[in-house]
């Protein structure tokens, strides 16, 4: 670990309004990078047809993007933990905007793949470096709540990507990529006015020292990497992503499942794409309950340092049966075939109240997503709890790397499974069976969170003692 020399420096800005603006920008950008991720799956059929390639190669694009973003995030985070984070966020946002624009104008499959991978490199910065910045704005008592908004913004981003892709891309698949490019360029400009947040600002152990003008100048070094992995809670938090994201990664195929159900009932492909996108968006609304999961984690954490991990473990395991029900409940779809997107959307929304099978499916989906959403804010908060400020971006990125491997594997392998199951289970049943099988990965995920609940008290205490000693030196 290194300690930079030089006198104390003061961050520019820092008024309540400036801090609020900065938090809003960071949360919105966390949402936008997931819009980019969620944009492609609803358009698999249209893009595959345009490039004359099988749909599974579009699944490969999503899987490769997940993995590329996760690998790039490690490098972005390490550099961010050593230096100024604000320029990195601006550069990363600009890169993913350029990659998204390149996707819109790609003339063939290899060009589209290359553009998506470029966008993925930029996306790696938004998540990892942005996480490090946001944790320096949040006190430990409110980490679960605020990180629930951080996680919720990502879930909303995925939903928005699914919806925007399905609606704007129903007639022209290139249009949503062009729109997102413009939004990304505007987001880069928004970063210019954010508060340059001092590292460690939210830690109560450092508050008195920082108030006197001292600066927390500890930075990560390569010698710290073994220490990071030696913290047992870090190991469980990183490893759980392999199985959790295999399950979550498979869920990007939800729009395809409901599109196939619509086509099986006789609807045209363009109408089926819209139906699938709207249903998938509705069924993921349970993610808004991540706020409840964050509050529960905060409340139980104040009673026991095991609290956050226990909330995540219970939520993950309890959600499994609801997912299994969701995929097999038959849905009767009644929408005007070939009508404008608005008319189709209104018909789908009305069916929630007029068609019992749709209402039951929505209730099941909301319960499933509500329970699993407890995972996200408590994972974020635990990383901040068991690591000093200069390690958090790197630990997050290592976890995100494993998440990316799991999510890429889940996304790609479930596509292979769909093809393998097609002989025994005709569409759309093959999609339901494949998705149900991949949700079993939540079982080892819940077990690893329970193990993290046993190791986190010791790691939290060690970080508290370390920061207290550093505050005395500062």
Q: Which residues contact 292 (CB under 8 A, 6 or more apart)?
A: 148, 370, 374
Q: Which of 42-56, 171-185, 192-206, 360-374 has the lowest mean pLDDT?
A: 192-206
Residue 241, Cα to own-chain centre: how many angstroms? 12
Q: Which has the minimum average pLDDT: 2-11, 96-105, 340-349?
A: 2-11
The reported pTM is 0.77
List the one residue out of 438, 58, 44 whose CA is nearest residue 277. Answer: 44
- Would residue 18 count as lying in a domain? yes
Q: Could you tell me if residue 6 is inside a domain?
A: no
**Cβ–Cβ < 8 Å for 326, 386:** no
DSSP-based three-state secondary structure for 219 = strand
The crossing angle, in degrees rounded to 10, of helices 16-38 and 143-168 is 40
Give the integer Cα–Cα distance in Å for 392 and 178. Answer: 34
Distance of CA 419 to the CA centre of its chain: 27
**At residue 350, what are phi and psi to the nearest 5 degrees?**
-65, -30
- Specify if 215 maps to a domain: no
Residue 355 dihedral angles phi and psi, to the nearest 5° = -115, 110
How does DSSP classify residue 174? T
Question: Is 172 among the domain residues?
Answer: yes
| CATH number of the domain residue 244 falls in | 1.20.1250.20
Question: What are residue 216's phi and psi, to 5 degrees?
Answer: -80, 100
Across all residues in the chain, what is the average pLDDT?
84
Which of 23, 32, 22, 27 is CA-nearest to residue 181?
Answer: 32
Is residue 455 pLDDT above 80, yes or no? yes
Q: What is the pLDDT of residues 261-308, one digit of tens each?
A: 888 888 888 888 888 888 877 777 777 788 888 899 999 999 999 999
Least confident interval from 102-111, 231-240, 259-268, 402-411: 402-411
Residue 394 belongs to a domain? yes
Q: What whole-number distance in Å separates Cα of residue 402 and Cα of residue 238?
A: 6
Lowest mean pLDDT segment, chosen from 49-58, 196-205, 442-451: 196-205
Please indicate, yes or no, if residue 4 is contained in any of the structural domains: no
Percent share of the chain, pLDDT over 90? 22
Specify the pLDDT at position 13. 46
> Is pLDDT at 32 greater than 50 in this prediction?
yes
Which among 255, 417, 436 has a CA at the least distance from the CA of 348? 255
Q: Return all residues near 153 (Cβ < 8 A) that are at least 6 apart.
A: 27, 28, 30, 31, 34
Identify whether 5 is part of a domain.
no
| Residue 7 pLDDT class (50, 70, 90 cuts) | very low
Helix H or strand E encompassing 2: strand 2-3
Domain extent, residue 77, equals: 14-205+221-473
What's 288's DSSP letter? G
Task: Quick: pLDDT tens for 154-210.
Answer: 767 776 777 777 778 877 889 889 988 998 888 888 878 887 777 778 788 887 877
Helices in 284-388 by DSSP H: which ranges?
290-303, 307-328, 341-354, 356-372, 375-385
Please indicate, yes or no, if residue 3 is contained in any of the structural domains.
Answer: no
What's the pLDDT score for residue 14?
62
Q: State how beta strands 218-219 and 2-3 pair.
A: antiparallel
Find the mean pLDDT for residues 235-246: 93
d(CA 292, CA 108): 45
Write out pLDDT tens, residues 58-110.
888 887 887 888 888 888 888 888 877 888 888 888 898 899 999 999 989 99
Give the total number of structural domains in the chain. Answer: 1
């Amino acid at each position: 670990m290194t300690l930079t020399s030089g006198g104390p420096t003061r961050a520019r800005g820092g008024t309540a309004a400036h801090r609020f603006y900065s938090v809003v920008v960071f949360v919105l950008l966390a949402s936008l990078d997931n819009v980019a991720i969620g944009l492609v799956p609803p358009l698999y059929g249209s893009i595959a047809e345009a490039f004359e390639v099988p749909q599974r190669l579009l699944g490969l694009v999503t899987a490769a993007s997940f993995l590329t973003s996760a690998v790039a995030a490690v490098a972005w985070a390490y550099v961010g933990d050593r230096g100024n984070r604000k320029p990195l966020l601006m550069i990363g946002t600009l890169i993913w905007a350029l990659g998204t624009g390149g996707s819109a104008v790609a003339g063939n499959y290899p060009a589209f793949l290359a553009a998506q991978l470029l966008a993925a490199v930029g996306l790696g910065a938004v998540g990892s470096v942005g996480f490090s910045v946001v944790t320096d704005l949040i006190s430990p008592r409110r980490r679960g709540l605020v990180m629930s908004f951080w996680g919720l913004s990502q879930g909303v981003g995925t939903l928005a990507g699914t919806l925007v892709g399905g609606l704007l891309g129903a007639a022209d698949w290139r249009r949503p990529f062009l729109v997102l490019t413009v939004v990304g360029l505007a987001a880069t400009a928004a970063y210019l006015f954010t508060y340059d947040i001092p590292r460690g600002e939210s830690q109560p152990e450092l508050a008195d020292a920082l108030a006197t003008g001292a600066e927390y100048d500890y930075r990560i070094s390569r010698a710290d990497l073994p220490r990071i992995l030696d913290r047992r809670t870090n190991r469980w938090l990183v490893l759980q992503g392999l199985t959790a994201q295999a399950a979550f990664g498979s869920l990007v195929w939800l729009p395809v499942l409901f599109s196939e159900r619509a086509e099986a009932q006789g609807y045209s492909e363009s109408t089926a794409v819209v139906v699938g996108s709207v249903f998938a968006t509705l069924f993921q609304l349970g993610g808004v309950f991540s706020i409840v999961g964050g509050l529960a984690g905060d409340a139980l954490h104040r009673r026991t340092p095991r609290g956050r991990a226990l909330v995540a473990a219970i939520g993950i395991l309890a959600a499994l049966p609801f997912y299994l029900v969701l995929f097999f409940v038959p849905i009767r779809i009644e929408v005007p075939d070939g009508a404008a997107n608005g008319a189709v959307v209104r018909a789908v929304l009305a069916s929630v109240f007029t068609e019992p099978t749709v209402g039951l499916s929505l209730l099941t989906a909301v319960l499933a997503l509500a329970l699993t959403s407890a995972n996200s804010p408590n994972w974020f908060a635990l990383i901040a709890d068991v690591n000093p400020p200069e390690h958090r971006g790197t630990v997050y990125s290592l976890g995100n790397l494993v998440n990316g491997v799991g999510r890429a594997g889940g996304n790609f392998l479930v596509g292979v499974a769909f093809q393998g199951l097609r002989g025994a289970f005709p569409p759309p049943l093959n999609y339901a069976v494949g998705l149900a099988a991949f949700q079993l990965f939540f079982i080892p995920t819940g077990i690893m969170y329970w193990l993290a609940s046993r190791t986190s008290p010791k790691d939290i205490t060690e970080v508290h003692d370390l920061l207290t000693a550093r505050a005395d030196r500062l």
